[in-house]
């Protein structure tokens, strides 16, 4: 698996179609999480591909919310992304806005962790620290069960995602928290230019 894109080109494409800092933050967060998982899962040689797929997965959402994952192939192609990247991006909307099934391990992880990073981010913002650094799985599970909290983050997608990976919900949560911890400082630093 290989990407033709450099990170600089990917970031340029993302910010061409996304002006909302919240959307850029989400892309950078999922990028970091995917980089962490690439190494965790023994795909360290594919880290760049995993990361850039994470960075670009919602490229079409801000401008084309009604055509989410439908407009993405065109935008990604124009940016120079290959078919493998396009498949990965489209598969994260499987069952909701896309019929491209997550097949590769990276696609299953992107599907499972995307909504969960939203939930973790929202939970982190409620904490006195405003951070994931001191967040534990037990407190995240409470937020997960509270359906009114961050209601936009689909619990069903997160549950299906863990199931597709053959992981428990706790495992998925623990790993994703660790991934977000590793990248939090770098993402916050990079976000300064967009705020
Ligand atoms: Fe997303």
Distance 17 CA to ligand 1 centre (A): 14
Mean pLDDT along residues 20-33: 98
Residues 180-192 as b/e (b if ≥16 CB within 10 A, e otherwise) read bbbbbeebeebee
- What's the pLDDT at 116? 98
- Ramachandran class of 130: left when φ > 0, alpha when ψ lies in -120 to 50, beta otherwise: left
For the segment 125-154, what is each residue's pLDDT rounded down to a tens digit? 999 999 999 999 999 999 999 999 999 999
- What's the pLDDT at 117? 98
Distance 59 CA to ligand 1 centre (A): 9
CB atoms within 10 A of CB 93: 23
> pLDDT at residue 1 above 50?
no
For the segment 97-120, what is each residue's pLDDT rounded down to a tens digit? 999 999 999 999 999 999 999 999
Distance 136 CA to ligand 1 centre (A): 22
Q: Work out the pLDDT band at 3, boundaries 50, 70, 90.
A: low
Contact 29, 121 (CB under 8 A): yes
- What's the pLDDT at 128? 97
Q: Report the C-alpha gap between 68 and 72 in whole angstroms.
A: 7
CB atoms within 10 A of CB 133: 13
**Could you tell me the sign of the dihedral formed by the alpha carbons of 34, 2, 165, 108, in that order?**
positive
CA-based max dimension of the chain: 43
For the segment 151-170, what is each residue's pLDDT rounded down to a tens digit? 999 999 999 999 999 999 99
Instruction: Give domain limits for the chain.
Output: 7-194
> pLDDT at residue 51 above 80?
yes
- What's the pLDDT at 4? 78
- What's the pLDDT at 23? 97
pTM, two decimal places: 0.96
Contact 143, 123 (CB under 8 A): yes
- Ramachandran class of 95: left when φ > 0, alpha when ψ lies in -120 to 50, beta otherwise: left
Distance 63 CA to ligand 1 centre (A): 14
Distance 44 CA to ligand 1 centre (A): 22
Distance 153 CA to ligand 1 centre (A): 10
Distance 30 CA to ligand 1 centre (A): 7
For the segment 66-96, what is each residue's pLDDT rounded down to a tens digit? 999 999 999 999 999 999 999 999 999 999 9
Q: What residues does the ion ligand 1 have nearby, CB within 5 Å?
A: 58, 114
């Amino acid at each position: 698996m290989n990407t033709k894109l450099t990170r600089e080109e990917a970031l340029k494409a993302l910010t061409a179609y996304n002006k909302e800092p919240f959307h850029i933050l989400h892309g950078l967060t999922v990028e970091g999480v995917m980089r962490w998982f690439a190494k965790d899962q023994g795909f360290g040689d594919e880290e760049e591909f995993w990361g850039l797929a994470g960075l670009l997965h919602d490229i079409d959402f801000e401008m084309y919310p009604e055509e989410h994952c439908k407009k993405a192939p065109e935008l990604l192609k124009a940016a120079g992304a290959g078919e493998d990247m396009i498949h990965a991006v489209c598969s994260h909307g499987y069952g909701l806005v896309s019929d491209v099934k997550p097949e590769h391990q990276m696609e299953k992880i992107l599907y499972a962790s995307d909504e969960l990073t939203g939930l973790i981010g929202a939970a982190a913002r409620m904490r006195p620290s405003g951070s994931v650094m001191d967040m534990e799985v037990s407190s995240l599970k409470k937020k997960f069960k509270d359906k009114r909290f961050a209601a936009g983050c689909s619990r069903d997608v997160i549950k299906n995602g863990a199931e597709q990976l053959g992981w428990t919900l706790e495992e998925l949560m623990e790993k994703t928290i660790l991934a977000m911890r590793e990248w939090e400082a770098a993402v916050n630093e990079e976000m300064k230019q967009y705020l």
